[in-house]
């Protein structure tokens, strides 16, 4: 019998991976069924073209339909040219061959369906006392057009849920704003500092609870990989595949430095095109920055705060969670997911409502294409990226300076 996981030495060969995917799909007995495959967007390292080709080759003559949905969460919809880049094939009227390609639309009410309610008492229990309110669980209604749902996605340390992947492809991947906002704000209350790289968190418990309400067969292919290749793939239920993958991710994606640093230069790759996703350059290094230190997010190509939420972020700025919770009456009407992002980029700190003084633990500086006046207005520091030569920051750990190349997918911890 074929195993339910496969590991590389250190990386998997493409041919071996394709064979594994085909063998696992064959075991699912999808003859005559309609299959919807969920994949990440372009902000995640993932061999989507290989997956598309392997899945359609394995199921094209077996299943009645094999369609794909990009699990965008609140990320902007991908244009046809971006979808071509993601899947490696030209789209024709929303199709690639016999497969339809969908963007998830989190903010289009008619595209969503309510599938259940998590009561305030259960939310209180799952959140470990951080929140108490009912939660209506909504998800993209297209799932009801299919017989089997399959997730293909990577697992990395994650600022909101601990480790990404698994049922996160449903919530927030293809969910409504209610789940997105509550789970992200719960993550903010717990703080990135305490959550990221933790295997099972209250946010994961909440996501798994919501996924129980999806009354469809679900299978997950959880990838552990980096830009060099694929370390391993785990299959099974979203919960089981994610659990095994997160254990391997903890071994491969967490770098232990043994010390803190006064300065970190976090160099973002081109796949992060706005600060909404580029904030990972802060999230992943926050644990190794000493009190009073600073992180510089270096990304000259990044010119936007957020394609989707930029107007709100320009209004509220970037602040510690204490800033918002101490003035909750003023901020509770804003989307909680946006508040959460703000706190994750700003990091830990305190706010004194009597004096109005906010004291962040560290300083966050943008060396990006975002103008200085905008950075100051949103309560972040600014540095002209032209004044930075990346190699000048290399090999200076003994001075308390850390250079992180290709930042965003590896987590840095002291120990």
Structure tokens at 267: 């160099």
Cα distances (angstroms) measured from residue 187 to each of 42, 138, 211: 23, 19, 18
Res. 1: pLDDT tops 90: no
pLDDT at 325: 97
Mean pLDDT of the region 128-136:
97
pTM score:
0.94
CA 159 to chain centre: 8
Res. 287: pLDDT tops 80: yes
Pairing of strands 112-118, 157-158: unpaired
Mean pLDDT of the region 319-348:
97
118-121's contacts with Cβ under 8 Å and 24+ in sequence apart are 118/206, 118/209, 118/210
Residue with tokens 């493409």: 14
The rounded mean pLDDT for the chain is 96
pLDDT at 175: 97
- pLDDT tens column, 105-129: 999 999 999 999 999 999 999 999 9
- pLDDT tens column, 291-319: 999 999 999 999 999 999 999 999 999 99
User: How many beta carbons lie within 10 A of that of residue 191, not counting itself?
Assistant: 17
Res. 2: pLDDT tops 70: no
Domains plus CATH for the chain? 5-252 (3.40.50.11440), 255-413 (3.90.226.30)
3-state secondary structure the chain: CCCCEEECCCCCCHHHHHHHHHHHHHHCCCCCCEEEEEECCCCCCCCHHHHHHHHHHHHCCCCCEEEEEECCCCCCCCCHHHHHHHHCCCCECCEECCEEEEECCCCCHHHEEEEEEECHHHHHHHCCCCCCCCEEEEEEHHHHHCCEEEEEEECCEECCCEECCHHHHCCCCCECHHHHHHHHHHHHHHCHHHHCCCCCCHHHHHHHHHHCCCCCCEEEEEEEEECCEEEEEEEECHHHHHHHHHHHHHHHCEEECCCCEEEEEEECCCCCCCHHHHCHHHHCCHHHEEEEEEEEEEECCCCCCCCCCHHHHHHHCCCCHHHHHCCHHHHCCCCHHHHHHHHHHHCCEEEECCCCEEEECCEEEEEECCCHHHHHHCCCEECCHHHCCHHHHCCCHHHCEEEECCCCCCEEECC
Which residues partner with 373 through β-bridges?
none
Res. 22: pLDDT tops 90: yes
Spatial separation of the C-alpha atoms in residues 39 and 188, rounded to whole Å: 25
More confident residue, 188 or 1: 188
pLDDT at 136: 97
pLDDT at 137: 98
- pLDDT tens column, 250-276: 999 999 999 999 999 999 999 999 999
């Amino acid at each position: 019998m074929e195993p339910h996981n496969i590991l590389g030495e250190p990386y998997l060969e493409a041919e071996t991976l394709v064979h594994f995917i085909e063998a696992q799909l064959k075991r699912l007995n999808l003859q005559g069924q309609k299959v919807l495959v969920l994949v990440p967007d372009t902000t995640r390292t993932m061999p989507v073209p290989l997956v598309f080709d392997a899945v359609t080759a394995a199921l094209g003559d077996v299943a009645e339909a094999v369609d794909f949905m990009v699990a965008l969460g609140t990320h902007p919809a991908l244009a046809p040219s971006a979808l071509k880049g993601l899947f490696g094939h030209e789209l024709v009227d929303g199709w690639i061959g016999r497969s339809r390609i969908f963007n998830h639309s989190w903010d289009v009410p008619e595209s969503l369906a309510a599938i259940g309610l998590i009561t305030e008492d259960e939310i209180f229990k799952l959140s470990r006392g951080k929140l108490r309110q009912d939660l209506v669980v909504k998800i993209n209604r297209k799932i009801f057009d299919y017989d089997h749902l399959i997730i293909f996605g990577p697992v990395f340390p994650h600022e909101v849920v601990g480790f990404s992947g698994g049922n996160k492809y449903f919530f927030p991947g293809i969910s409504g704003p209610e789940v997105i906002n509550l789970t992200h704000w719960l993550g903010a209350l717990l703080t990135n500092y305490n959550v990221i790289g933790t295997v099972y968190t209250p946010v994961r418990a909440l996501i798994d609870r919501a996924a129980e309400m999806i009354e469809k067969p679900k299978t997950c292919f959880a990838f552990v990989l980096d830009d060099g290749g694929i370390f391993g793939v785990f299959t099974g239920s979203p919960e089981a595949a994610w659990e095994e993958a997160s254990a391997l991710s903890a071994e491969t994606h967490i770098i232990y430095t043994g010390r803190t640093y006064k300065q970190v230069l976090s160099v973002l790759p081109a796949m992060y095109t706005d600060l909404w996703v580029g904030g990972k350059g802060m999230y992943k290094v926050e644990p190794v920055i000493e009190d009073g230190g600073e992180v510089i997010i270096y990304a000259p190509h990044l010119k936007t705060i957020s394609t989707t939420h930029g107007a709100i972020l320009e209004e509220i700025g970037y602040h510690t969670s204490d800033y918002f919770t101490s003035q909750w009456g003023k901020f509770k009407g804003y989307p909680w997911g946006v508040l959460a992002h703000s706190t994750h980029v700003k990091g830990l700190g305190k706010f004194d409502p009597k004096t109005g003084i906010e004291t962040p633990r560290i300083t966050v500086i943008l060396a990006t294409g975002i103008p200085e006046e905008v950075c100051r207005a949103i309560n972040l520091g600014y540095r002209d990226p032209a004044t930075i030569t990346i190699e000048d920051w290399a090999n200076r750990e003994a001075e308390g300076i850390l250079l992180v190349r290709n930042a965003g997918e590896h987590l840095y911890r002291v120990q």
